[in-house]
Amino acid sequence: MSMQSAPDLESVVRERGGHAYVVTVSEHGAPHAVYVPVRWEQGALVAEVGATTAANASARPRMSVLYAVRADADYSLIVDGTAVVAPGDGAHRVRVTPTRVVLHRPGPSPDPASACGADCVPLPLPVMPVTR
């Protein structure tokens, strides 16, 4: 997959389905990963999470969302972003604004000049409309 053919993030997320791993960091610096419903909404990923994930994201808003591979030759989708937490109906809602997005899989990089030591395809960040 080349950068010229890299799809937009919204299309990739919708194609991946409605669940992903949400990864936050605890107050002790330990990773906290949960598999939860995630959807695309107005330029961001929105996840329904529990109290621990919400507390982690509130205190340390830099987090990641991981859509794992679906087959051996597939790419994982990794979305790093900044979270904002809001209470929801029986759960908490985390809205993640992407800051870095990459499709990743093991293997040599097809681009020898790439900083990634594997087969990585950076995706463009969503363009948010300007509101006045």
Higher pLDDT residue, 112 or 53? 53
Residue 74 placed within a domain: yes
Backbone angles phi, psi at 52, to 5 degrees: -65, -45
Residue 70 placed within a domain: yes
Residue 129 placed within a domain: no
Dump pLDDT digits (tens) for 42-54. Answer: 999 999 999 999 9
Residue 132 placed within a domain: no
SS3 per-residue string spanning 64-101: EEEECCCCCCCCEEEEEEEEEEEECCCCEEEEEEEEEE
Number of independent structural domains in the chain:
1
CATH code, domain with 33: 2.30.110.10
Dump pLDDT digits (tens) for 61-98. Answer: 999 999 999 988 899 999 999 999 987 677 899 999 99
How much of the chain, in percent, has pLDDT values that exceed 70?
91
Dump pLDDT digits (tens) for 10-20. Answer: 999 999 999 99
pLDDT (0 to 100) of residue 131: 56
Residue 87 placed within a domain: yes
Residue 128 placed within a domain: no
pLDDT (0 to 100) of residue 2: 43
CB < 8 Å & 24+ apart, contacts of 29-35: 32/56, 33/66
The residue segments making up the domain with residue 83 are 3-122
Mean pLDDT of 34-59: 96
Instruction: Please give the model's pTM, rounded to 2 decimal places.
Output: 0.85
pLDDT (0 to 100) of residue 106: 79
User: Is residue 82 within 8 Å of residue 96, measured between CB atoms?
Assistant: yes
* pLDDT exceeds cutoff 80 at 39: yes
pLDDT range class, residue 1, cuts 50, 70, 90:
very low
Residue 37 placed within a domain: yes
Residue 105 placed within a domain: yes
